[in-house]
Amino acid sequence: MIIADLRTELRTASLPRPWGEDVPYNHVIVTHVTLKDGRTGTGFSWTPQIGAHAVKALLDHDLREALIGLPARPEVVWDRLWRHLREAGPGGITTIALAGIDLALWDLRCGGEALPDVLGRRRDEVPVYGSGVNLHYPLDELVAQAGRWVAAGYRGVKIKVGRPDLAEDVARVAAVREVIGPDRLLMIDANQRWDLHRARRALAALREFDLHWIEEPLPADDVAAHVELRRSTDVPVAVGENVYTAYGFRDLLAAGACDVVQPNVVRVGGITPFLRIVELARTYDVPVYPHLLGEVSGQLALALPLPVMAEDVEDASFARLGLLAEPYPVEISGGVLRAGGHAGLGLRWS
């Protein structure tokens, strides 16, 4: 169980529905960790916009040498490499790079079992909500997208807000609520575009649409402003996709700044820190809704202790981007996600 080598491959996939003029692609760094006995585990790092080459360089030039010779135990390796990388910064490129190694080690740990079973499967399926990076969509395209999610049987939908004119946000949310009806959940995501004053005004104007949560209303590291916003609204506050360490989640939870946390399994550094964040959130009775990356996040959701939904960003799964070969590790149908009978993470990179 000693690590003998690390290899990486950078892949770039065009998004069928670009996330804006500046985000036409997703970048994946596929990682292969080989043991002395010849077994190999496969993981990945990911970035939708910038930093892919920096992450690969960090893996190839700073982590490979430190990794070789260590025991193939994810928790031990993660803590050792985290200390090794601290000079490069406490999160961001460093944790994204660590995720590639950690996911590969968990792939090895699973052996012949699927990831949800190794973690402790609590459910066989999880509800899915439709999600889109759609702030730049014209209203008719946004409404059509919401209609596709309804036709797919999704239990909820999430759309972007944060247009310069609040009246536009109100009109767009109203149109989507009309399409999905009163019984489906409706979430909105501001992607850190507001300050506290704008967030209060926006949520007051949108309150009539029965919002299930407001996601990233404020800069992700402004804990105090999140606390103040939560005190002034009855709309649940969701945070976490741009929080990179367990310490960041600890500070948000301890301050009472959020109702939902949404760690991204790659941005936090892999499954090892993700599980630590889950247990931390559980002590505050705050649910975890994994962010994006459904082929792995969906599997994690099957093992989480509190109620959860899986996020499906339209046309952005690794399968839809042509990065995976069948059979895929998860399947979405009838509005729910299920995991297949694969071994490990089940990622077969094409």
Q: 305-343 pLDDT, tens per residue?
A: 999 999 999 999 999 999 999 999 999 999 999 998 899
**Distance between alpha carbon 211 and the CA centroid of its chain, in Å?**
21
Report pLDDT for 91: 87
Candidate list 56, 160, 226, 342, residue with the active-site label: 160
**Distance between alpha carbon 148 and the CA centroid of its chain, in Å?**
22
Provide the b/e sequence for 315-336 (b: ≥16 CB within 10 Å): ebbbbbbebbeeebbbebeebb
Whether 240 and 297 have beta carbons less than 8 Å apart is answered as: no
Report pLDDT for 340: 85
Report pLDDT for 6: 98
Report pLDDT for 87: 87
Give 90's DSSP letter: S
Range list of β-strands (E), the chain: 3-14, 25-35, 40-47, 126-131, 156-160, 185-189, 213-215, 237-239, 260-261, 310-313, 330-333, 336-339
In one-letter notation, the amino acid at residue 19 is: W
| Mean local confidence (pLDDT), 20-46 | 97
Q: 139-154 pLDDT, tens per residue?
A: 999 999 999 999 999 9
CA distance 256 to 163: 28
Instruction: Find where tokens 């990233």 sit.
Output: 216
Phi/psi zone of residue 58: left (φ > 0), alpha (ψ -120 to 50 degrees), beta? alpha
Report pLDDT for 113: 97
Q: Report residue 6: phi and psi, to 5°.
A: -135, 130
Beta-strand relationship, 330-333 and 310-313: unpaired
CA distance 128 to 154: 6
List domains and CATH numbers for the chain: 2-110 (3.30.390.10), 116-339 (3.20.20.120)
| Mean local confidence (pLDDT), 183-194 | 98
Task: Supply the DSSP string of 256-267, one letter for each residue.
Answer: T--SEE---TTT
CA distance 332 to 317: 11
Among positive and negative, which fits the CA dihedral 203, 19, 26, 349?
positive
DSSP 3-state of 128:
strand
291 as an active site residue: the answer is yes
Beta-strand relationship, 310-313 and 126-131: parallel
Q: 48-93 pLDDT, tens per residue?
A: 989 999 999 999 999 999 999 999 999 999 999 999 998 888 889 9
pTM for this structure?
Answer: 0.97
Whether 153 and 182 have beta carbons less than 8 Å apart is answered as: no
Mean pLDDT of the chain: 97
Q: 222-261 pLDDT, tens per residue?
A: 999 999 999 999 999 999 999 999 999 999 999 999 999 9
Candidate list 158, 212, 291, 342, residue with the active-site label: 291
158 as an active site residue: the answer is no
- Integer-rounded Cα radius of gyration of the chain: 20
The answer, yes or no, to whether residue 262 has pLDDT greater than 90, is yes
More confident residue, 88 or 122: 122
* Share above pLDDT 90 across residues of the chain, in percent, rounded to a whole number: 97
Whether 121 and 348 have beta carbons less than 8 Å apart is answered as: no
| Mean local confidence (pLDDT), 33-59 | 97
